[in-house]
Amino acid sequence: MGLVVLFLAMIVLTNGAASGLAAWLTTLGVGTVAALWRGRRGTWPTRLTRLLPVIIAAALTSSVCIPTVPTQRRYPAPLPFAATQRWSLATGSRIAVYHYPPAPNRTSHATPLVYLHGGPVRSISVLDHQFLQLLARQGFNVYAYEQAGGGRSELLPMDQYTISRSVRDLDAFIDHLGKGPVDVLGFSSGAAVLTRALADPDVAAQVHRAIIAEPGPMDGPTARITGQPGRPSARGLAPAVTGPRSTHVPRYGVAFGLMRLGLLAPDTALIGQAEGANAFTAADLGSDTASAYCAQDAHRIPTEDTARNFSFSAAASLQVQQTIKDSPSIAPQLRLSRTPAMLMIAECSSQLRQWATAVLENDPAIQRTHYMPGVGHHMWNGLDDNNERASAAITAFLEGKPAPLPNYPTHADIPALLRDHR
């Protein structure tokens, strides 16, 4: 046990150098010297017996150094219902793009609608694709892209995964689309990207209308807030997620565990970015998926994605999140925003309420806020009429029609919202 602890400490100290071999060889050497020293006065059979624990520890820890998935990026298979386009942006990002044109039997909207998914560095789930198809059937010309490093988009060097890069990629995407200002729907971490885009006058000029749905923290001060989530979610109530888990494999359990604890850097040499993305499975998200649904939905959580489509880069996502935590406040810039916006908040959100209320407090151009009853963080989830209700709110705002829900909370409602734990 002592040698295993030493090995893990060396992994941290060496940042997993040489796929963990530096830590393994050091541990083996220290263990061998210590065993021989302790048995120096005994017979050779006794000395060899002293080495047995070292051999066992070496065998156990060697599994952390051996890849069990390809170390070159293995992209998800093509979607059966949507063509994948490849766009090279001016920023250098090469991304996967999906286009859902408006239904031919509906009056189409002149302004394209761009979707920014959550994650941040992951594939767009099948559930999200289904919701985008619903919006297209409502007459919207929908474009979505997987952010650099996620899904079928190509990887970036680890140090280039930043929230600023995500905003620049959005700007470059709109330029590449070449259709003038667009409407943008940002969800979760995609909503954080959109919020920061609204605080940048050059990027905001390319956004016609903005829908900020269930935003993550917009900057460092917001990310460091100790706040409260919404109504109870299904976390801890839903049945355990089934399926293979990379975290049950020693190599990836150690790597992802130490990264999550902040003991390994996202650019660790223990596992490469491509290997980590190849290894991570939907089951590895565990209770994170359940936290996106209301407590009453705990035993009917839908399958959000297929194994062939799912992709998540834990290391790159942590890197982006760290750059948000390290960023200064964007509130002064956001207060100058003039882009018409709508904020959507879920009743059973697992996101901190203060992440959404910070946007509401500082963006004077928010024209509507909708508190979506009966849904968790993943508001469009295929259950009951949740997709239709979310689509109705989005459609009404983009078409300038009366809202299907009350304008709540307003800026004045924030103290009561937090006090009543809504």
Within-domain flag for 243: no
Q: Does residue 266 fall inside a structural domain?
A: no
Same domain, 181 and 53: no
Tell me the two tokens of residue 262: 């902040």
114 in a structural domain: yes
Say yes or no: 59 and 92 in one domain. no
CA distance 411 to 408: 9
> How many other C-beta atoms lie within 10 A of the C-beta of residue 253?
16
Domain contains 308: yes
Q: Rounded to an integer, what distance in angstroms lies between the CA atom of residue 383 and that of residue 49?
A: 62
pLDDT tens figures, 170-201: 999 999 999 999 999 999 999 999 999 999 99
Examine residue 278 and state whether it is found in any structural domain, yes or no: no
CATH number for the domain that contains residue 295 = 3.40.50.1820
Same domain, 56 and 89: no
pLDDT at 330 over 90: yes
Beta strands 142-146 and 94-100 are antiparallel
Give CA–CA dist 313/149, Å, rounded. 7
HEC letters along 215-267: CCCCCHHHHCCCCCCCCCECCCCCCCCCCCCHHHCHHHHHHHHHHHCCCCCCC
Whether residues 164 and 15 share a domain: the answer is no
111 and 175 fall within a common domain: yes
Specify whether 44 is located in the same domain as 187.
Answer: no
pTM > 0.85: yes
- Nearest in space to 298 (alpha carbons), one of 228, 241, 372: 241
pLDDT mean over 283-287? 88
| Domains: count for the chain | 2
Q: Are residues 230 and 305 in the same domain?
A: yes
Residue 384 within a domain:
yes
CA dihedral 349, 351, 357, 360 (to 10 degrees): -80
Within a domain: 264: no
Do the Cβ atoms of 284 and 315 come closer than 8 Å?
no
> Are 59 and 137 within one domain?
no
Please indicate, yes or no, whether residues 138 and 173 belong to a single structural domain of this protein: yes
pLDDT band at 43 (very low <50, low <70, confident <90, very high): low
Least reliable range by pLDDT among 15-19, 41-45, 259-263, 265-269 = 41-45
Let me know whether 165 and 210 are in one domain.
yes
- Where does a domain end: 16, 32, 65? 65
Q: Does 60 share its domain with 99?
A: no
Q: Is residue 71 included in any domain, yes or no?
A: no
The residue range of the domain holding 41 is 2-65
